[in-house]
Amino acid sequence: MAASRIVIENCAIATVDAHDTEYPTGHVVVADHLIESVGPGRAPAGLADVVRRIDGTGHLATPGLVNTHHHFYQWITRGLATDHHLFDWLVALYPTWARLDEQMVRAAARGSLAMMARGGVTTAMDHHYVYPRGSGDLSGAIIGAAGDMGVRFTLARGSMDRGRSDGGLPPDFAVETLDGALAATEETIDTHHDPSFDAMTQIAVAPCSPFSVSTQLLRQGAELARRKGVRLHTHGSETVEEEQFCRELFGLGPTDYLESTGWLGPDVWMAHCIHMDDADIAAFARTGTGVAHCPSSNARLGAGIARVPDLLAAGVPVGLGVDGTASNEAGELHTELRNALLVNRLGPRREAALTARQALRLGTYGGAQVLGRADGIGSLEAGKLADLVLWRLDTLAHASIADPVAALVLGAAAPVTLSLVNGRPIVEDNRLTTVDEDAIARETRTEAQRLARADSRTS
Ligand code: ZN
């Protein structure tokens, strides 16, 4: 069968390829689910089977944004504990989260996905680690929500098994058993993981954090992931308190502790990685371990400023993450492009701080690297998957900014005229095409209220 083609012309293009190639005016041709060509000027003449031709005048085309760290369920617990640091914030919210059920998790996933997709995210991830007993098929509900929306997706199947009685932070009623968590994770991989180049769903093994999981769960989780050939994800080096916890309990800092349990390697990415010394950064670089940088959440919880320029200089793969929306109520990735740049310029090494183009790279190619998908997504190049965004830059918000990449990164969140995943539109003219955004807004409010009522009845 002949390919059906979409031709996009007359737009600025930032390819985010290895040379950061940009075209002030160029074209992208999509054939079925792949990018067929990208280049300057108009598309080649005489293309057959063109089903759609888009005039991109006044727009910038980029790779779709890739989110590398999130907790979708938090969409229905936004705006709580707004003045807390991480550990106090977690302790305040764990009892509420332990009352989640499948319907709530589905609604929260739809809300989180919708917010990101309408802001140019084409690949999403969810680190879900709260599985209350009897709460239903939460992983299936989340994966179904991503499938309905048409977003490319990694579910990091999380877990917690170190309750308070074992010296951990979460209450005992919010954790799973070691064997239960491992068995459920393996079943999720067997049911849902697709290893192929154009996969829409992948699974990662993702015990929550050093202070909420046992050493055995880290060790056996890493073994499970490597036996199954899937990636590994967790939180690391987020706060000073975590560092103290690891030193007191294990006699090691977080990076050394995680390395001792098998958690450094080219198949691992970790969220935050703020409190790292030069030796920690060297260990990440030596092993190819990736980082999900979440600047808004880090600021919201007062966690600190990650050493992103130093990580990049050492060769560590770095992507961006929204993090859960209980610590980043905005829930969209544009803010992270902007804040990654701004926050790092407030850090101790201003002379090496990020550029606008580096920020765009973190949100696209860097994210693809840490999710292990850089062969297929993260840049606009012939042969890659057709995940791309056409940002409108000719309205009041951006029309007077000369540089389109600076407009996108430093300006207000740009309207999305078109977002393609696998060559299929998920956003047109700033509206989601696959789901009803207003219905999702109503549903998430209803479920947030239901959770609040369940919490007040039982606390
Ligand atoms: Zn997180």
What's the pLDDT tens digit per position in 349-377? 777 789 999 999 999 999 999 999 999 99
| Residues paired with residue 124 on neighbouring β-strands, in sequence order | 153
* Whole-angstrom distance, CA of residue 433 vs CA of residue 424: 10
- Give the tokens for residue 58: 């006044």
- Under the banding of pLDDT at 50, 70 and 90, the label for residue 301 is very high
Give pLDDT, residue 173: 85
Asked whether the predicted pLDDT for residue 458 surpasses 70, the reply is no
Cα–ligand 1 centroid distance for 89 (angstroms): 12
Cα–ligand 1 centroid distance for 239 (angstroms): 12
- Under the banding of pLDDT at 50, 70 and 90, the label for residue 337 is very high
Alpha carbon 369 to chain centroid distance? 12
Q: Which of 346, 290, 288 is nearest to 320 (CA)?
A: 290
Per the model's pLDDT, the better-predicted residue between 86 and 221 turns out to be 221
- Under the banding of pLDDT at 50, 70 and 90, the label for residue 457 is low
Cα–ligand 1 centroid distance for 166 (angstroms): 22
211-228: average pLDDT: 97
- Give the tokens for residue 91: 């302790």
In SS3 terms, 171-233 reads as CHHHCCCHHHHHHHHHHHHHHHCCCCCCCCEEEEEEECCCCCCCHHHHHHHHHHHHHHCCEEE
Cα–ligand 1 centroid distance for 326 (angstroms): 10
Residue 196 burial (CB count, 10 A): 8
Cα–ligand 1 centroid distance for 332 (angstroms): 14
- Give the tokens for residue 195: 């290893």
Q: Could you tell me what percent of the chain has a pLDDT over 70?
A: 99
CB of 99 closer than 8 Å to CB of 130: no
Cα–ligand 1 centroid distance for 39 (angstroms): 38
Cα–ligand 1 centroid distance for 323 (angstroms): 5
Cα–ligand 1 centroid distance for 272 (angstroms): 8
Residue type, 311: L
Looking at every residue in the chain, the average pLDDT score rounds to 95
Per the model's pLDDT, the better-predicted residue between 80 and 445 turns out to be 445
Asked whether the predicted pLDDT for residue 86 surpasses 90, the reply is no
143-172: average pLDDT: 95
- Give the tokens for residue 275: 């409190």
Cα–ligand 1 centroid distance for 95 (angstroms): 17
Cα–ligand 1 centroid distance for 322 (angstroms): 9
DSSP 348: S
Q: What is the pLDDT of residues 342-355, one digit of tens each?
A: 999 998 777 778 99
Cα–ligand 1 centroid distance for 303 (angstroms): 12
Give pLDDT, residue 1: 60
Give pLDDT, residue 142: 98
Cα–ligand 1 centroid distance for 295 (angstroms): 11
Q: Domains (ranges, CATH) in the chain?
A: 5-63+380-432 (2.30.40.10), 65-370 (3.20.20.140)
- Under the banding of pLDDT at 50, 70 and 90, the label for residue 108 is very high
Cα–ligand 1 centroid distance for 129 (angstroms): 10
272-279: average pLDDT: 97
- Give the tokens for residue 113: 């996905």
User: Positive or negative, the Cα torsion across 247, 250, 251, 253?
Assistant: negative
Asked whether the predicted pLDDT for residue 459 surpasses 60, the reply is no
Cα–ligand 1 centroid distance for 257 (angstroms): 19
* Whole-angstrom distance, CA of residue 36 vs CA of residue 384: 8
Cα–ligand 1 centroid distance for 377 (angstroms): 23
419-432: average pLDDT: 98
Alpha helix (H) residue ranges in 21-171:
86-97, 102-118, 138-149
Cα–ligand 1 centroid distance for 234 (angstroms): 8
* Whole-angstrom distance, CA of residue 309 vs CA of residue 165: 40
* Whole-angstrom distance, CA of residue 26 vs CA of residue 41: 4
Cα–ligand 1 centroid distance for 71 (angstroms): 6
9-31: average pLDDT: 98
Cα–ligand 1 centroid distance for 271 (angstroms): 6
For the chain, the C-alpha Rg in angstroms (whole number) is: 21
Cα–ligand 1 centroid distance for 351 (angstroms): 29
CB of 50 closer than 8 Å to CB of 36: no
Per the model's pLDDT, the better-predicted residue between 1 and 314 turns out to be 314
Give pLDDT, residue 143: 98
Asked whether the predicted pLDDT for residue 182 surpasses 60, the reply is yes
* Whole-angstrom distance, CA of residue 419 vs CA of residue 364: 14
Of the given ranges (67-76, 91-100, 261-270), which has the lowest mean pLDDT? 91-100
- Under the banding of pLDDT at 50, 70 and 90, the label for residue 17 is very high
267-296: average pLDDT: 98
Cα–ligand 1 centroid distance for 30 (angstroms): 35
